[in-house]
Amino acid sequence: MIVEFISRAILLSIPLLYGATGEILTEKSGHLNLGIPGIMYGGAIGGVIGAFLYENACGNAAENMNPILTILIPLLTSILFSVLMGLIYSFMTVTLRANQNVTGLALTTFGIGLGNFFGGSLVKLVQSDLPSIALTKTSKIFKAELPFAKDLGWFGEIFLSHDFLAYAAIAIALIATFILNRTRVGLNLRAVGENPATADAAGINVTAYKYIATCIGSAVAGLGGLQYVMAYADGVWSNNAFGDRGWMAIALVIFALWKPSMAILGAFLFGALCNANNYVQGLGTETQELFKMLPYVVTLIVLIITSLRKKREHQPPESLGLPYFREER
Amino acid sequence: MSQKSKKHHEPFIHIVKRDELAPAKAWGIRIGAIVLGVLLIGLISSILTGEGFFEVYEIMFRGVFGRLFEGKTNMLWKFLQDTAILLCLGLAVAPAFKMKFWNCGAEGQALIGGLAGMFCMIQFGGKLPEFFLVPLVIAVSIIAGAIWGVIPAIFKAKWNTNETLFTLMMNYMATQLIAYYVYIVGGGSNVINPVSTGALPVIGNLQYLTNILIVALLTVAVYVYLKYSKQGYEIAVVGESQNTARYIGINVKKVVLRTMMLSGAICGVAGMLLVAGTDHSINTNTVGGQGFTAIMVAWLGKFNPAIMTLMAGLIIFLRTGAAKVADLNFLNSSFADISVGVVILLLVGCEFFIQYSVRLRHGKKGV
């Protein structure tokens, strides 16, 4: 049971990790993107649309489907959707200097609407005779695990039994850590987030950094939505099923103190906390509801402690949430 | 330096901050953005549904107001009620946002206010006389909302804890508390049966009139408070510059705490109106994400309650209308969220053209 619990916690943690890594990249450029929950919905539905159209084009028969295309098409459509939404956000906040909170919230409304709308109407829009969206064939290919994972007992189930997007999430978080801390690009990006005026004076293209960080961050976050649909939900789309995971990913950013590598551990902890209510013995349903509060309470405590201790390396980027206009000093 | 490098350094477009655009012009730009958004929605819906471009608007209008011209006012009342609730939440966040305190927790504050009211209605219903119970429900809702709102403010004032994230987390704590309470009271059925004790009185036969009147009074009160009171002035100064506020002797911490208490209290009113005024019950979806929409209402209305009323009306119109268009064509009603999102994004974006002017190279004046 412990093995199952851990394995399940890892599965639950992956969308959060994607969302948090994406949000960290964006926040490092000084932009608090509250549109992430919407972008994750956007990424999810983008992937679903791609996969749905491909399955339809293959006549809904598994033998016609090319495994590589089955993975590539949803991946690309998912990234396309989330990058487009990231572009909207960065155009609004970087070029038009709109308020980041309001833009983000509007984008979240828009993205969740987009996801639920296409999720609920795609079947009708393409005039398919399927009753609802169930991409089980695509999901099966997405979830392909290593052939020998089953033979390795608990070790196999915990570490080797996941879908490739789960490993990709951890890889992306590690790469992001490396880029942020060990490369010039990362140094420049952090400079932009801390003090754009100084970065600008040093010859860094502030606008380009902000745009690229936001768009890559959105693409990463969108993959979280895709992973949720394909791996956790077995390719079955149901409206609002993704829930508030996007907000939890934003909470995770604080918990991880703006470090993607910490987010890996944090995501696992959040996954475990979200899941714990099913495994603690003797809980009534009502106490389970209180248990679901845990991730938020833990985040609040971390938020308070970081603001109390004022350690410099644990603070949010200095100019987080502020627009930058070169001529206004 | 050669001429070549000089040429290189003159960008094609140049952005200049405007001094101040005449209000009439500024509103022209905003109304232009709204019109553009509404046209865009019409276009998208007619492509998606195959209805004619103008028929879409007809459906929207009928979806919102029903058969108003044939004397049936029930849909109109529903429209006013929805607008009133959204406006009430907007009125709650406006003082906080004007102070640059990003209160993203209106959802949670309203839910907690509603929860406290519900608790009183269930606990004391039948045990206390109605003339005592109703004021009690109102007071307890307001106090609960104020407490939920002041907690992030305390941390903000004392340790500068990020309030955006703090209030967001408090939303989900409120949601889970309600899930817990609903389960206990509902006995596992996830529904609380409507309780009529302690409910707000109904004026005439009009179910929503009480709510609408309360919000109308509140709108005037907030307008006067923000514009003519000393406290409203302090909020404006703190929002513009905390250093200036300190310099002229305003106690910034006190203003932050007081304003957030007010903000939470008005959210509590909204929760109370929903629970004691309309639903007589509560669930995790009672506020339905309107706490976030309300932020946009406040922002788009420039924290001016009069304009906010129009914005709330516009958003409710688009939401109800677009949902109707989608429903009629068997599409998902989340089309409403897309429409609202499009218009808000356009409105937020158009502020750029009010604050800045874009000039083309060689000093030619552009947009």
Q: Supply the ipTM of this predicted assembly.
A: 0.86
Tokens encoding B329: 């064509």
pLDDT in tens, B225-262: 999 999 999 999 999 988 999 999 999 999 999 999 99
Quote the CA–CA distance of A247 and A225 in Å, as a whole number: 13
Q: Which residue bears the tokens 């004619």?
A: B52
pLDDT in tens, A137-153: 888 888 877 777 667 77
- Is residue A315's pLDDT more than 80? no
Among residues B313, B335, B312, the alpha carbon closest in space to that of B323 is found at: B335
Chain-chain contact of A103 with B345 (C-beta, under 8 angstroms): yes
Compute the average pLDDT of residues B279-285: 87
What is the pLDDT, as a whole number, of residue B328?
84
SS3 state of residue A175: helix
CATH of domain B22-334: 1.10.3470
Note the pTM of the prediction, 2 decimals.
0.88
CATH fold of A2-314, please?
Answer: ABC transporter involved in vitamin B12 uptake, BtuC (1.10.3470)
Q: Is-contact A28 A189, C-beta < 8 A?
A: yes
Range of weakest confidence among A189-193, A228-232, B62-66: B62-66
Residue type, B203: I
Query: Which of A98-102, A133-137, B261-265, B297-301 has the largest mean confidence?
Result: B261-265
SS3 state of residue A146: coil
Quote the CA–CA distance of A139 and B36 in Å, as a whole number: 40
What is the pLDDT, as a whole number, of residue A97?
87
Range of weakest confidence among A180-194, B37-51, B57-71, B252-266: B57-71
Quote the CA–CA distance of A199 and A213 in Å, as a whole number: 15
pLDDT grade for B194, boundaries at 50, 70 and 90: confident
SS3 state of residue B14: strand
Q: Which residue has the higher pLDDT, A114 or B200?
A: A114
Residues in A closer than 8 angstroms to B339, CB to CB, are 113
- The whole-angstrom distance between A107's CA and the closest CA on chain B is 6
Compute the average pLDDT of residues B91-104: 92
Quote the CA–CA distance of B259 and B238 in Å, as a whole number: 11
- Is residue A197's pLDDT more than 80? yes
Chain-chain contact of B296 with A116 (C-beta, under 8 angstroms): no
- The whole-angstrom distance between A248's CA and the closest CA on chain B is 9
- Is residue B7's pLDDT more than 70? no
Q: Which of B162, B169, B192, B299 to mutate to test the interface with A (most CBs of A within 10 A)?
A: B169
Compute the average pLDDT of residues B17-38: 86
Nearest to A303 among B165, B289, B335 (CB): B165
Mean of the per-residue pLDDT values for chain A?
A: 86
- Is residue A279's pLDDT more than 70? yes
Chain-chain contact of A244 with B172 (C-beta, under 8 angstroms): yes
SS3 state of residue B363: helix
Chain-chain contact of A292 with B340 (C-beta, under 8 angstroms): no
Interface of A with B in 277-316 (CB under 8 A): 285-287, 289-290, 292-293, 296-297, 299-300, 303-304, 307-308, 316
From residue B258, alpha-carbon distances to B148, B150, B224, B243, B304 in Å are 13, 8, 17, 19, 20
What is the pLDDT, as a whole number, of residue B219?
95
Interface of A with B in 53-92 (CB under 8 A): 88, 91-92
What is the pLDDT, as a whole number, of residue B220?
96
What is the pLDDT, as a whole number, of residue B3?
47
- Is residue A278's pLDDT more than 50? yes
Residues in B closer than 8 angstroms to A303, CB to CB, are 161-162, 165-166, 169
Q: Is-contact A261 A134, C-beta < 8 A?
A: no
SS3 state of residue A234: coil
b/e per residue B181-192 (b: at least 16 CB within 10 A): bbbebeeeeeeb
Quote the CA–CA distance of A240 and A221 in Å, as a whole number: 17
What is the pLDDT, as a whole number, of residue B363?
53
What is the pLDDT, as a whole number, of residue A237?
86
Interface of B with A in 153-182 (CB under 8 A): 155, 159-162, 164-166, 168-170, 172-173, 176-177, 179-180
Nearest to B176 among A32, A115, A290 (CB): A290
Chain-chain contact of A97 with B162 (C-beta, under 8 angstroms): no
What is the pLDDT, as a whole number, of residue B346?
92
**Could you tell me if B188 lies within 8 Å of chain A, comparing CB atoms?**
yes
- Is residue A270's pLDDT more than 60? yes
Residue type, B112: I
Range of weakest confidence among A161-165, A260-264, B236-240: A161-165
From residue A102, alpha-carbon distances to A25, A108, B263 in Å are 20, 10, 18
**Could you tell me if A102 lies within 8 Å of chain B, comparing CB atoms?**
yes
Query: Which of A2-11, A61-70, A121-130, B95-104 has the largest mean confidence?
Result: B95-104
Compute the Cα dihedral for A104, A164, A119, A267 and give only its sign.
negative
pLDDT grade for B10, boundaries at 50, 70 and 90: low
Compute the average pLDDT of residues B183-211: 82
Residues in A closer than 8 angstroms to B338, CB to CB, are 110, 113-114, 117
Q: Which of B98, B162, B184, B192 to mutate to test the interface with A (most CBs of A within 10 A)?
A: B162
Residues in B closer than 8 angstroms to A108, CB to CB, are 292
Element (H, E) at B1: none
Quote the CA–CA distance of A11 and A241 in Å, as a whole number: 15
Quote the CA–CA distance of B332 and B334 in Å, as a whole number: 5
pLDDT > 90: percent of chain B: 43
Q: Is-contact B140 B117, C-beta < 8 A?
A: yes
What is the domain partition of chain B in residue ranges? Answer: 22-334
Quote the CA–CA distance of A96 and B348 in Å, as a whole number: 9
Residue type, B214: I
**Could you tell me if A256 lies within 8 Å of chain B, comparing CB atoms?**
no
- Is residue B367's pLDDT more than 60? no
What is the pLDDT, as a whole number, of residue A8?
85
Residue type, A276: A
SS3 state of residue B129: coil
Chain-chain contact of A99 with B299 (C-beta, under 8 angstroms): yes
For chain B, give percent helix, strand, coil, nearest 5. 75, 5, 20
Quote the CA–CA distance of A260 and A278 in Å, as a whole number: 28
